[in-house]
């Protein structure tokens, strides 16, 4: 039920209504971006962003640095293993 999938915003369809097109594994769908837009992230700036998509709404902007950091911990763990 709480499923979310990573998707990339490819274009803004209607900035006033917070509608954008997102692509997931080659499939495109219109999504609502109101939850990832704020003063620092106007709609136009969202193009190219990776987001977490849930029932047609972009609910979070995926943080590339945090993803790298998580994987970095696991790489270190692997290096420590005998």
Partner 1 sequence: MKYVDEFRDRDKAAALLHAIEAVTEEIRPAKALQIMEVCGGHTHAIFRYGIEAMLPDAVELVHGPGCPVCVLPMGRVDDCVAIATQPGVILVTFGDAMRVPGSQGSLMQAKANGADIRMVYSPTDALAIARNNPEREVVFFGLGFETTMPSTALTVLEAERDGISNFSVFCNHITIVPTLKTILDSPDLRIDGFVGPGHVSMVIGSAPYEFIARQYRKPLVISGFEPLDLLQSVWMVLRQIADGRAEIENQYARVVASGGNAAAQRAIDAVYEPREHFEWRGLGSIDHSGVRFREAYARFDAERRFVVPGVRVTDPAACQCGEVLKGALKPQQCRVFGTDCTPETPMGALMVSSEGACAAYYRYAAKTV
Can you give the binding site for partner 1, defined by CB under 8 A?
A: 1-4, 6, 8, 25, 32, 34-38, 50, 52, 54-57, 59-60, 62-64, 66-67, 69-71, 73-75, 77-78, 80-82
12: tokens are 């803004």
CB of 52 to partner 1, least distance (A): 5
Closest Cα partner for 12 from 40, 59, 26, 37? 37
CB of 41 to partner 1, least distance (A): 11
Sign of CA dihedral 41, 55, 5, 22: negative
């Amino acid at each position: 039920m709480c499923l979310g999938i990573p998707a990339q915003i490819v274009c803004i369809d209607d900035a006033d209504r917070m509608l954008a097109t997102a692509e997931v594994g080659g499939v495109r769908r219109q999504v609502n971006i109101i939850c990832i837009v704020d003063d620092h992230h106007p709609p136009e700036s969202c193009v190219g962003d990776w987001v977490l998509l849930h029932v047609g709404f972009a609910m979070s902007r995926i943080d590339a640095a945090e993803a790298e950091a998580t994987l970095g911990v696991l790489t270190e763990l692997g290096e420590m293993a005998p």
